[in-house]
Chains A and B, each alone.
Chain A
Amino acid sequence: EAGVAQSPRYKIIEKRQSVAFWCNPISGHATLYWYQQILGQGPKLLIQFQNNGVVDDSQLPKDRFSAERLKGVDSTLKIQPAKLEDSAVYLCASSPQAVGGGKGYTFGSGTRLTVV
């Protein structure tokens, strides 16, 4: 099966600019996650979608970050305006409705964001 697709792979922007990342999950996976991985740390969940609804955005900095999954398939994560501390790898993952069988969660290759 095709994996989780993410674009772009790399992005360099200046602080206060805006940026958007795109994710296309595995076909049929109801749940989509966006994680932020700062260098030297483990991934941290930013937002979780179940179909096209948000089920957890408790760690999303809502003053500058936004995300949508309008049709319950692909998703976009936006940062506006970016800060230096937003430099990180942004990982998208998806999972079936019931996690337990198989691999459960599948991750994309990530987008490496550098804010200068």
Chain B
Amino acid sequence: AQSVAQPEDQVNVAEGNPLTVKCTYSVSGNPYLFWYVQYPNRGLQFLLKYITGDNLVKGSYGFEAEFNKSQTSFHLKKPSALVSDSALYFCAVRDSTGFQKLVFGTGTRLLVSP
């Protein structure tokens, strides 16, 4: 079964510094990977996805993610963090064995301090 793991419950970073939120995956076949962000009392907002092609994927709000097949990782990155980036981030993988549901990680809370 497809799964993703987010090893950090929380990431703290100072504004202006680079940030990384980690995700590793386990899939059979080619992975379809996603990152979503969730602000308080809001639904999930799409940031970016990897389907195929370039290993560096660029997404919304200046975020990017690097797909690494040998390490089975899909880490979310941003060169310069903003206080407004503080939120809950979810990595997800599309289930390719059935009906294409998304399987989510447990989430990582990002706190950006001024």
Q: Taking beta carbons and an 8 Å cutoff, which residues of A are in contact with B?
A: 4, 6, 31, 33, 40-45, 48, 50, 55-56, 91, 93, 95, 99-100, 103-110, 112
Q: Which residues of B contact A31 (CB under 8 A)?
A: 99-100
* With A33-B101, A48-B99: A109-B106 Cβ-Cβ less than 8 Å: no
Distance (Å) between the CB of A42 and the closest chain B CB? 4
25 CB-based A-B contacts, threshold 8 Å: A4-B43, A6-B43, A40-B107, A41-B106, A41-B107, A42-B105, A42-B107, A44-B104, A45-B103, A48-B99, A48-B101, A50-B99, A55-B98, A56-B101, A91-B43, A93-B102, A99-B94, A99-B100, A100-B51, A103-B46, A105-B34, A105-B102, A107-B45, A109-B42, A112-B41
Rounded to whole Å, the gap between the CB of A77 and the closest CB of chain B is 15
Chain B residues packing against A (C-beta within 8 Å): 32, 34, 36, 41-46, 49, 51, 90, 92, 94, 98-107
Of A48, A55, A107, the residue contacting B44 (CB under 8 A) is: A107
- Name which of A48, A91, A104 has the most chain B CB atoms within 10 A of its CB: A104
* Closest chain A CB from B72 CB (angstroms): 18
- Residues of A contacting B: mostly: strand
Q: Is the CB of A105 within 8 A of B46?
A: yes
CB of A56 within 8 A of CB of B106, answer no
Q: Tell me whether B106 and A104 are in contact (CB under 8 A).
A: no
Q: Which 8 A-B pairs have the closest CB atoms?
A: A42-B104, A107-B43, A107-B44, A103-B46, A109-B43, A55-B99, A42-B106, A45-B101
When C-beta atoms are compared, the residue in chain B nearest to A91 turns out to be: B43
With A and B bound together, what is the CA distance between A42 and B103 in angstroms?
9
**A110 contact set on B, CB distance < 8 A:** 42-43
Cα(A33)–Cα(B105), bound, Å: 17
Inside 8 A of B43's CB, which chain A residues have their CB? 4, 6, 91, 107-110
Report how far A5 CA is from B23 CA in the complex, Å.
Answer: 30
The CA-CA distance from A95 to B44 in the complex, in Å, is 14
- Residues from chain A with Cβ under 8 Å of B106 in the complex: 40-42
